[in-house]
Amino acid sequence: MPVKVYAYQRGASAVEEHPLDAVPQLVARDDMVLWLDLCGRDGDAVQDGLLSTVFKIHPLVLEDMFQDAPQPKVEDFDDYLYIVVHGLDRQAEQPEHLETIELDVIIGPRWVITHHPTSLRSTESVESEIRKNPKLFAKGPSFIAHAMIDHLSDYYEPLMDRFDDEIEALEVAVLEDADRDPTHEIFALRRSLAKIKRVASHQREVVQRLARGEFDHIDESALPFYRDVADHFVRVVDLAESCRELLGSIFETYRSVQSHKLNEVMKVLTILSTVMLPLTFIAGIYGMNFEFMPELHWKHGYAFAIVLMAGTAAGLLAFFRRRRWL
């Protein structure tokens, strides 16, 4: 499992990266702020050698960390705060095929532990930030955790913009291309939006709890910054609901267009059936084999029957046109 260890000595001018075996000594120092970042699913060695012994992390928390947690949450322990949030997978971020990545954050007195099964842009952004400026570490663990959750939330709104673009394209296609069936695309987008709304709703509640000052591990000075992140997720939830309503309207529009097309087809077929009915009646009359029938031996009988049929059809069509049924 790839492990990165960043430590900052208070008053220093830079954040330094350390080997994993230096963690016990770094944790024991009161003047150090530590960030331990774990990437991958196999955490047995780290669990046994570090998390459970040095950081005293509860076994149930370790179990949740290295397994997929379906919902974001926050749990308060005596010595640390455990937070689960979900970021967007950069490899599967298309609106129709959306995937999320779990980010586990543990905030201690002078340290932060993060875990994610694959690479995550929010942690990479924080890494890049601390290499340039140690100010984030100087503020403390709650600000480090905020930076990760804040960067994670920043990728949701651009995704909602892509949803808007796809929905707009679908709306144009439904109105202009009547032969296209967008049902699969509509329901794929609705599934992704439902997932986004569910995750963002839970993350909004989690961050709102962090922003209300319920937990001692969140510095009071950091609360306004957490409120700002909570506002981001409020907007994401509202946008997701709006997009779902738009998709529902587009689907109803598509059904209306298809119903109109079906009505047009049925109208044409009904008119054809109506026109053919008297012609069939005339053909049936003249097709009877009675010996004494009018025009049976008349040399113009065939032409008379054809003209009669044509005149009947023309008269019916003219009647339909006058009534504006055609």
Domain ranges of the chain: 3-256, 258-322
> What type of residue is 10?
R
> What type of residue is 41?
R
- DSSP symbol at 196: H
Q: Which two tokens stand for residue 292?
A: 């004494």
Instruction: Please state, in angstroms and rounded to a whole number, the distance separating the CA atoms of residues 189 and 97.
Output: 8
Q: What is the pLDDT of residues 233-287, one digit of tens each?
A: 999 999 999 988 888 888 888 888 778 778 877 877 787 788 888 888 778 777 7
Angstrom distances, CA of residue 282 to CA of 203, 278, 310, 311, 318: 76, 6, 11, 12, 19
CATH topology of domain 3-256: Beta Polymerase; domain 2 (3.30.460)
Task: Assign 3-state DSSP to the chain and report helix, strand, coil percentages, each to 5.
Answer: 60, 15, 25
Q: Which two tokens stand for residue 76?
A: 């308060």
Q: How is 75-86 classified by DSSP, letter by letter?
A: EE-SS-EEEEEE
Length of the chain: 326
Contact 50, 57 (CB under 8 A): no
| Element at 253 (helix H, strand E) | helix 223-286
Name the CATH architecture for the domain at 258-322: Up-down Bundle (1.20)
Q: What is the pLDDT of residues 154-184, one digit of tens each?
A: 988 888 888 888 888 888 887 777 677 788 8
Entry pTM: 0.77
Instruction: Please state, in angstroms and rounded to a whole number, the distance separating the CA atoms of residues 189 and 233.
Output: 19
Q: What is the pLDDT of residues 78-113, one digit of tens each?
A: 889 999 999 888 776 677 778 888 999 999 999 999
